[in-house]
A and B are shown apart, each in its own frame.
Chain A
């Protein structure tokens, strides 16, 4: 990409104009990364639509909204600890984001062993997260939460909960598979032969996005 060297020296806005000028590549990144970002942008719209729908039903319901702090409390060590499972899930997901960042970093250093190790750790933490979510769903379903009713108040609570956390859990599950495939390819030397570890960074983008969505779900659904 030698023809881009002068563009990099331009002031930021002129660089944007130059990048978007006709008859040339707009984004000076590998196509996989640009497409992943555009996919994540579309996913942002989907998750925001879900969260906005949740906001709407919560604002418009005549019945009191169940208190998430109590709904998601766990009885541990002889007392109810509010939201403890959700807090642990949050920490698990953040830890997985950290290990993913390290995997990408080791990938660029061509350190195959550590890249595979941290990718596998990330996938394992993701699987742990999904497992805890399955436990949470089982607990709530056994307490009588359904998409159309629940014992504590506004019936919309169940539908918003299952839709939002279900769709997020699906993303985490897909991400675990994605990471395992990437880890297998790293260990087989696929990216060494290809001469580039950018695909690991693209997988990382997806994984960090899953963590990013959880930040918003945690704030708006669980803490609000």
Chain B
């Protein structure tokens, strides 16, 4: 963890090659997610591939481009933990959306 020592001085200087590699990876992952649509993949395969590529891209951007991997744990926890509350919102709204759909289905019979 000698990187942690480095970041205490407020410096985030890393070799250029790291950025170039991540850049290439992001390109490849974006191409893969576009391919998912281009080849009309369907169902669970489509959704799981979309989510995997999305999470990998998001992780690379936050960890390397935004330098989160080299920050101290205090900042990581303060920034990365609160968004987990949003999972509760998403779960509630998914249940609510399902309920609204069923209510509409039984109320507006066509």
**CB pair B97 A60 closer than 8 Å:** yes
Using known A-B contacts A55-B93, A62-B104, determine if residue A215 contacts B61 with beta carbons closer than 8 Å. Answer: yes
Residues of B within 8 A of A7 (CB): 8
Residues of A within 8 A of B108 (CB): 62
Q: Which of B14, B19, B66, B75 contacts A29 (CB 8 A)?
A: B75
Residues of A within 8 A of B46 (CB): 223
**CB pair A219 B10 closer than 8 Å:** no
Complex Cα–Cα for A105 and B19 (A): 9
Q: Is B45 an interface residue (CB 8 A)?
A: no
By beta carbon, the residue of chain B nearest A51 is: B90
Q: Is A16 an interface residue (CB 8 A)?
A: yes
**CB pair B33 A30 closer than 8 Å:** no
Q: Is A48 an interface residue (CB 8 A)?
A: yes
Q: Is A142 an interface residue (CB 8 A)?
A: no
By beta carbon, the residue of chain A nearest B56 is: A215
Residues of A within 8 A of B66 (CB): 204-205, 208-209, 212
Q: Is B83 an interface residue (CB 8 A)?
A: yes
Residues of A within 8 A of B65 (CB): 97, 100-101, 204, 208, 211
Complex Cα–Cα for A144 and B47 (A): 29
**CB pair A15 B89 closer than 8 Å:** no
Q: Is A135 an interface residue (CB 8 A)?
A: no
Q: Is A69 an interface residue (CB 8 A)?
A: yes
**CB pair B97 A56 closer than 8 Å:** yes
Using known A-B contacts A90-B30, A108-B12, determine if residue A45 contacts B100 with beta carbons closer than 8 Å. Answer: no
- Where the two chains meet, the residues of B that have a C-beta atom closer than 8 Å to any C-beta of A are 1, 4-5, 7-14, 16, 19-20, 22-23, 26-27, 30, 33-34, 36-38, 40, 46-47, 50-51, 53-54, 57-58, 61-62, 64-67, 71-75, 77-79, 82-83, 86, 89-90, 93-94, 96-98, 100-101, 104-105, 108
- Where the two chains meet, the residues of A that have a C-beta atom closer than 8 Å to any C-beta of B are 1, 4-5, 7-8, 12-13, 15-16, 19-20, 26-30, 34, 37-38, 40-41, 44-45, 48-49, 52-53, 55-62, 69, 82-83, 87, 90-91, 94-95, 97-98, 100-102, 104-105, 108-109, 196, 198, 201, 204-205, 208-209, 211-212, 215-216, 218-219, 222-224
